[in-house]
Amino acid sequence: LQCKSHCHGPHRPHMHSSRSVHGDQGLPGPYPTAEDPSTCDIVKATQYGMVERCKELVEAGYDVRQPDKENVTLLHWAAINNRQELVKYYISKGAIVDQLGGDLNSTPLHWAIRQGHLPMVMLLLKCGADPSLIDGEGFSSVHLAVLFQHMPIIAYLIAKGQNIDTTDLNGQTPLMLTAQKATGPEPMRFLLKFNPSLNAVDNVQKNTALHWAIASGNTSAVDLLLEAGTSLDIKNVKGETPLDIAYQSQNHFMVYMIQEEERMRNRRNNGLLKIVEKYELFLMLTSSLIFMWAIGYVMDLSSDSWLLKGGLLLSLLFGMSLFVRQLVGLKNLRYLPTAFLLSSFFWMSTTWFFWFLPDILYTQEIMMGLLYYFYKTWSTDPGYIKTSEEERKENIIALSEAGCLDFRTFCTSCLVRKPLRSVHCLACQACVARYDQHSLWTGQCIGIGNHYYYLLFLFFLTMTGVWLLYGTLQYWSNHCAASFHQDGVWMYFTQTVSCSPWVSYISSVACFHTLWASGWLTVQLYQIAFLGLTSHERMNLLVQRKSSKHPVSLRRTPYNLGCFQNLADFFQCSCFGMFKPNIIDWTKQYKLFHLAKEKNVHSV
C-alpha cells in the first residue's frame, strides 16, 4: 500500500477557547482560493505555500521572527498548513521553534497537532520543538493529540518519550481527557495499550478517569476502564465513588455495569470460587463428559414413557445451562465446543470398546492420530506476532519517519506493523500470521503455525466418524432383529433405535462431527489447492464481490500459483523433487512480491 501524505488547504487556528473535540478541518477559510503570487503579503504566501514569494520577501528584509497583529508568527502559519519546506527555511533564517503565539498562546507544534499533520510534528521535533510545553488552555502536545483524536500523533509522541500520564494545568491526564471527551471505543482502547495510570486523580475535583467517563455518559470508556481494572472505591473531593456519580446521573445501565463488576470482583476473592476458577477448564471437561453420559443414560432407560424421558432430558438441559451460567467465566466460555468435542471422542471410543469390540476390530491408529493432531493444533503457536515494548516504540518511530504509519497496515491493538495476510484476532487479542480462522472447535486461532495440523485433525476426525458409523451399521445387523426388506423403512428405523438407544445416540453424535469435519475439510482443501487463499481472505473477497461494481475474481490473486504449486507451498513438500516449494516467513513478510508473473491482481 502506498503512503500518502495529506495536505489541506490554508487553515486559520482556533480563535476561540473552546474545548471542542472536533477539529476545524473542512471549515471554509476567510481567504479567497487563489492569490496573485507576485503581490500577496508574506502571511498569505506562507499559508498557500508560495515558497519563492516568501523567500523573495525575506531576502528583501522581512524579519521571520516578526509576529502579525494577532501575535502569530510565520512559523505558526507554515506549521498549521503543513508547509514543510517553508518551516525548514524560516528556521534556517532564525525563526524561534517554540515561539508562543495566537489567542491560545500556542507553539507552532501545538497548531500542527490540532490539524493532525504528523509529518509536520516530526519535522518540528527534529528541529528541537519541546512537546512538553503547555498552551494557554493548559494542554501539552499529548493532550492536544488526544483531544483531537489523532492517534498516529499520540503514538509518535509517546514513542518519542512523552509520558502517557502527563498532566495538564488541572492535573488531567490524557486518559481522563479521553474518558471525558472521546467518541467511540477506539481512542480509549488505543490509549490503554500504553499502560497509563488508571487510578490517577486530577487536582481540582479529584476525579479518576472512571469518574469522568461516567459523568460524561461515555459508556464504551466505562466498559473499557472496568475491564482494565480501575478501582471502584476512590472518592473524589465531594466524597463520591464512581457508583455514586452513576446514581446521580440516573444512568441505569452504568449503575448496572458497575454493580456487575463489583459482584465479579468480590467473587474473585471468594476462596472456593478461586479454586473453581483455577480448574475451570478441567471442571468444564468433566461436567461435559457427565452431561453427555447422562443424556445417553436417560435415553437408554428401559421405561417406555417418552414423557418421562423427555422431562428428564429437559431438566438435564436446564441444569446444564444453569451450570454454565453460574460457574463458567466469559473468558472460558469459548472452550465449551471444545469440551463437547473431547467428550464426544471419549464416549465414541468407549462405545467401541464395550459395544462393538468382539465383532468389529478397533483401530487405535485413527483415534491416536485424531488425539495427536488435536493436541498439535491446540498447543502449537498459530503465528502470533510478538514484540517487546521497546520494539513497538521503535516500530512507531521508524514507520512514522518513513511516512508509513498507516492504520490499515498497523495494528492499533498490538501496536505492531501487520505482516501481509495477518489479521488481528479479537478472541486471542493478538495478530496472527497468515490467519485462517479462529476455530470454534479447538478454541484456538488457526494460522501459519498450525494450519497443517488442523487439516490433519479434520481428516482424522472424519475418519473416526466414518469408522464409527460403519461399526454402528455392523452392530445393528448383528444385534437387531429388524430387517430392512421385511419391515419397511420406518419400522426398521424405530426398531434399530430402540434396539440400543445408546448406540443410536453416539452414532448420531459421530454423524454430526463427520458431517461438519468432512464438509469443512473439503472447503479448506479447495481453498488451499485451487484458490491459494485462507478462509478469511476468501470471505473478504466474497464480501467485496457483493459490494463492488467491478468483477472480483477469487482465482486471480497474487497468492494463487496454480493447484500443484499451492499444495507444495502449503505442505512444504517437494514431492520427490517434482516441485520447488516457496519458503516464505509470513510472520515477517510486509510487502507483496511477485511469486508469479500475475497481472491485474486484486489486493486481498
- Identify the CA nearest to 68 among candidates 34, 87, 43: 43
Q: Which is nearer to Zn ion, 275 or 427 (CB)?
A: 427
Amino acid at 376: K
CB of 189 to Zn ion, least distance (A): 11
CB of 168 to Zn ion, least distance (A): 30
Q: Which is nearer to Zn ion, 407 or 526 (CB)?
A: 407
CB of 338 to Zn ion, least distance (A): 13
- Whether 149 and 187 have beta carbons less than 8 Å apart is answered as yes
Q: Which is nearer to Zn ion, 53 or 438 (CB)?
A: 438
CB of 432 to Zn ion, least distance (A): 6
- The 8-class DSSP code of residue 352 comes to I
Stretch that binds Zn ion, among 171-179, 387-395, 418-426, 540-548 (CB under 5 A): 418-426
The alpha-carbon radius of gyration of the chain (Å, integer) is 33
Stretch that binds Zn ion, among 93-101, 238-246, 255-263, 417-425 (CB under 5 A): 417-425
CB of 426 to Zn ion, least distance (A): 8
| Site for Zn ion contains 438 (CB under 5 A) | yes
* Binder of Zn ion out of 95, 147, 213, 425 (CB under 5 A): 425
| Site for Zn ion contains 415 (CB under 5 A) | no
Q: Which of residues 445-474 bind Zn ion (CB under 5 A)?
A: 445
Q: Which is nearer to Zn ion, 411 or 529 (CB)?
A: 411
Distances in Å between the alpha carbon of 244 and those of 172, 211, 234, 250, 528? 21, 9, 11, 10, 57
| Site for Zn ion contains 193 (CB under 5 A) | no
Q: What angle do CA 441, 458, 442 make, to 5 degrees?
A: 20
CB of 409 to Zn ion, least distance (A): 11
**DSSP state string for 102-145:** TTTTB-HHHHHHHHT-HHHHHHHHHTT--TT---TTS--HHHHH
CB of 445 to Zn ion, least distance (A): 3
Q: Which is nearer to Zn ion, 425 or 510 (CB)?
A: 425
- Whether 345 and 370 have beta carbons less than 8 Å apart is answered as yes
Q: Which of residues 88-147 bind Zn ion (CB under 5 A)?
A: none
| Whole-angstrom distance, CA of residue 352 vs CA of residue 322 | 32
Sequence-distant (6+) residues with CB within 8 A of 64 are 58, 73, 74, 75, 90, 93, 94, 95
| Whole-angstrom distance, CA of residue 480 vs CA of residue 96 | 97
* Binder of Zn ion out of 427, 473, 523, 563 (CB under 5 A): 427
- The 8-class DSSP code of residue 334 comes to G
The site string for Zn ion over 211-240 (x = CB under 5 A, - otherwise) reads: ------------------------------
| Whole-angstrom distance, CA of residue 236 vs CA of residue 160 | 33
Burial environment of residue 594 by CB neighbours within 10 A (0 to 12, 13 to 18, 19 or more): exposed
Q: Which is nearer to Zn ion, 427 or 542 (CB)?
A: 427
Q: Which is nearer to Zn ion, 431 or 541 (CB)?
A: 431
Q: Which is nearer to Zn ion, 63 or 389 (CB)?
A: 389
Stretch that binds Zn ion, among 114-122, 338-346, 409-417, 456-464 (CB under 5 A): 409-417
Stretch that binds Zn ion, among 49-57, 227-235, 437-445, 546-554 (CB under 5 A): 437-445
* Binder of Zn ion out of 289, 313, 428, 561 (CB under 5 A): 428
Supply the angle between the helices 271-278 and 280-300 in degrees, to the nearest 10. 80
- Identify the CA nearest to 590 among candidates 414, 447, 416, 391: 416
Phi, psi for 126 (deg, rounded to 5): -65, -35
* Binder of Zn ion out of 431, 446, 448, 531 (CB under 5 A): 431
CB of 423 to Zn ion, least distance (A): 8
Q: Which is nearer to Zn ion, 114 or 392 (CB)?
A: 392
Stretch that binds Zn ion, among 35-43, 203-211, 444-452, 593-601 (CB under 5 A): 444-452
Q: Which is nearer to Zn ion, 295 or 414 (CB)?
A: 414
* Binder of Zn ion out of 411, 466, 529, 601 (CB under 5 A): 411
| Whole-angstrom distance, CA of residue 77 vs CA of residue 46 | 6
Cell numbers for 66, please give them. Answer: 516578526
How many chain residues interact with Zn ion (CB under 5 A)? 10
CB of 528 to Zn ion, least distance (A): 20
Q: Which is nearer to Zn ion, 45 or 385 (CB)?
A: 385
Strands 437-438 and 445-446: antiparallel
Amino acid at 310: G
Helix and strand counts by DSSP (H, E) for the chain:
25, 6
Q: Which is nearer to Zn ion, 64 or 414 (CB)?
A: 414
Helix (H, G, I), strand (E, B) or coil at 293: helix
| Whole-angstrom distance, CA of residue 530 vs CA of residue 554 | 10
Stretch that binds Zn ion, among 113-121, 244-252, 425-433, 502-510 (CB under 5 A): 425-433
C-alpha of 480 from chain center: 54
Tell me the CA end-to-end span of the chain in Å, nearest whole number.
11
Q: Which is nearer to Zn ion, 91 or 414 (CB)?
A: 414
Amino acid at 444: Q
CB of 422 to Zn ion, least distance (A): 8
Q: Which is nearer to Zn ion, 205 or 413 (CB)?
A: 413
Q: Which of residues 554-573 bind Zn ion (CB under 5 A)?
A: none
CB of 396 to Zn ion, least distance (A): 14
Distances in Å between the alpha carbon of 124 and those of 92, 95, 108, 557? 13, 12, 8, 42
Distances in Å between the alpha carbon of 515 and those of 88, 119, 356, 508? 67, 55, 22, 10
* Binder of Zn ion out of 160, 206, 235, 424 (CB under 5 A): 424
| Site for Zn ion contains 414 (CB under 5 A) | yes
* Binder of Zn ion out of 363, 413, 495, 589 (CB under 5 A): 413
Where does this chain bind Zn ion (CB under 5 A)? Answer: 411, 413-414, 424-425, 427-428, 431, 438, 445
